[in-house]
A and B are shown apart, each in its own frame.
Chain A
Amino acid sequence: MKTVKWRRELPLHILVFPSLIIVFLYCYIPMFGNIIAFQDFRPIKGLLGSEWTGLTNLKYVLEMPNTYRIIWNTVYISTMKIMMGNIVPIIIALMLNEIRKTYVRRSIQTMIYFPYFLSWVILAGILIDILSVQNGIVNQALGWFGIQPIYFLGNNTWFPITLVVTDTWKEFGFNTIVFLAALTSINPSLYEAALIDGANRWKQTLHITLPGILPIVILMTTLSLGNVLNAGFDQVFNLYSPQVYESGDILDTMIYRIGVADAQYGPATAIGLLKSSVSLMLISVSYWMAYRFANYRIF
């Protein structure tokens, strides 16, 4: 009996097998490769031949003068992004919901999620051009209102703000669609009942629409908790420069510089491992919370 079942399942095992191997090679082996974090890794000696140094690498990284500021930058930038990335789409979705002409709504939707599909390389190229101090169109437009040119990408006060605003600009279309889908699933009879009770549009929004999308808002926020240590490598790496390291350097760019530019494999892996371990805890907690409160399952 058992062998029959096994034989019937065999084709399914074969279907899984190629993906299993690739994921093992390029996801699981790098996970074990994290032991470099505890070694004085020398490429010639290899993974098993290098000398074990315990927590020296981690201590070295944590004692670097900028580490704590970089951790702070990371958490600050990503928290601001998570907040803006949820608040702006809610407002836009509510506003779009008030538009009754379908074709207008559709064309606005089409335009607002266009930046979502462009990579940060393209967007950075565009942003560097339009935000430039000399001929950038943004500073020209500000000039019409008598505002002095602002060095958005080179000023430590403005750089984090620019990061958050441009990230929201790229991403808000996506969440807007998610919230709009949630809005359309609200039972219309609730609105009719409220109308009979004399509630105006504003009251309806406050007491029906917002509570109606609250579960999905909680879900999206919860799931984004796992990203607190991901402040957006692609964006920062393409937009930053040494003069804004103070306010814009994040963990991932620091890991890149230590590991790739300075070729200090051990320390880079140590800080990377610390980051992925904390992220693992955060993601587990956020998925557990999403499961507990919003009944969300990954698969």
Chain B
Amino acid sequence: MIRRVSVSRSLFDICNYICLIALSLLCILPVIQVIAVSFSSSSAAASGLVKLWPVDFSLKSYEFILKKQDFLGSFLISVMRVILGTSISMFLTVTLGYALSKEVKDFRMRTVYAWYFVFTILFSGGLIPWYLTIKYTHLLDTIWALVIPGAVTVFNVILLLNFFRGLPKELEESSFIDGASHWTTLWKISLPLSMPSIATVTLFTVVGHWNSWFDGLMLMNSPSHYPLATYLQTAVIQQDFANMRAEDVKTLSQISDRTTRAAQIFIGALPIIAAYPFLQKYFMTGLVMGSVKE
């Protein structure tokens, strides 16, 4: 059978393609433009010649920021918080998700616990009490302030919980009959079977830690303890020169402010861009997973 394509249909198809391709370009071109600016010479950037490709290729701004102590320092702090924060967070999410995935007949307190955690989605303590609590528990100005208070993400727990529930019950039962404890069952049976969902939640946690900036701004007293996102917030967005050293301000006046800012933004986004292939692969899985319930 020959499929007849009407004129209006092919016209629609063409428009549809054009619109969608334009739209997807709209989503990535701003990033490309900033990358182009960061690799351009300062005079080209300052006079607005740079479009989507570097004009007068130059690495000056990268040389400048990679020599900057506070930039490198905050980069390392970010890396540290990602590693620490993700391991703590994942440990708590997995253990809590496993326990709450049990049925009420096996774990009578389950519903009480579940509501205890879900209530924190519904109501929160507000900015000042949150800050004061962290202050009174002596976490202020330490890396633990960025890692401990937000370690239990209830949404991720729910995601994992629903996945654990979808696993065949017979597997767990057989492991209990063989004399395994909950602990062994969790690590030897449930966890290996849930690797796709664990990967999704881990990636979300990593991205969350890398991106979060407000806690650093609130909880770190000295700028030398800022994670990269907070550093960028103060240096690029607020353009706070107060935290800068005198010689940095001098160098900055020689090379363009615009290219430096662009370079810092690009380095800040680089880990996300590098992880993006994995992110988008697990993104779909995560979404589908979260919506499948029994």
Name A residues whose Cβ lies closer than 8 Å to a Cβ of B.
5, 9, 11-13, 15-16, 18-20, 22-23, 25-34, 36, 43, 47, 92, 95-96, 98-99, 104, 107-108, 110-115, 117-119, 121-122, 124-130, 134-135, 137, 140, 169, 173, 177-178, 181, 201, 233-234, 238, 255-256, 259-260, 265, 268-269, 272-273, 276-277, 279-280, 283-284, 297-299
Contacts and interface: CB of A to CB of B under 8 A. Distances in A.
25 contacts: A9-B107, A11-B181, A13-B109, A19-B151, A22-B152, A26-B150, A33-B130, A33-B132, A114-B28, A115-B31, A118-B269, A122-B268, A125-B264, A127-B30, A129-B33, A137-B33, A181-B287, A201-B9, A268-B126, A268-B127, A272-B128, A276-B123, A276-B126, A283-B122, A284-B122
Given A99-B20, A111-B28, A181 B288 contact: yes
A118 B130 contact: no
Interface of B: 9, 12-13, 16-17, 19-21, 23-28, 30-31, 33-34, 37, 45-48, 51, 92, 95-96, 98-100, 102, 106-109, 113-114, 116-118, 120-130, 132-134, 137, 148-152, 157-158, 161-162, 181-183, 186, 207, 210-214, 218, 229, 232-233, 236-237, 258, 261-262, 264-265, 268-269, 272, 276, 279-280, 283-284, 287-288, 291, 293
B287 A19 contact: no
Contacts, number: 251
A19 B27 contact: no
A299 B237 contact: no
A121 B232 contact: yes
Nearest to A296: B293
A95 to B, nearest CB: 5
Contacts of B28: 111, 114
Contacts of A280: 122-123
Given A33-B133, A124-B237, A259-B128, A23 B116 contact: yes
Which 5 interchain pairs have the tightest Cβ spacing? A30-B125, A33-B129, A135-B48, A119-B211, A272-B126
A128 to B, nearest CB: 7
B134 A26 contact: yes
A19 B124 CA distance: 17
Contacts of A140: 48
Contacts of B288: 181
A241 B45 CA distance: 24
A150 to B, nearest CB: 16
Residue among B27, B116, B229, B293 facing the most chain A CB atoms (10 A cut-off): B27
Given A22-B151, A119-B211, A36 B128 contact: yes
Contact of A15 (B96, B130, B233, B291): B96
Contact of A121 (B102, B183, B229): B229
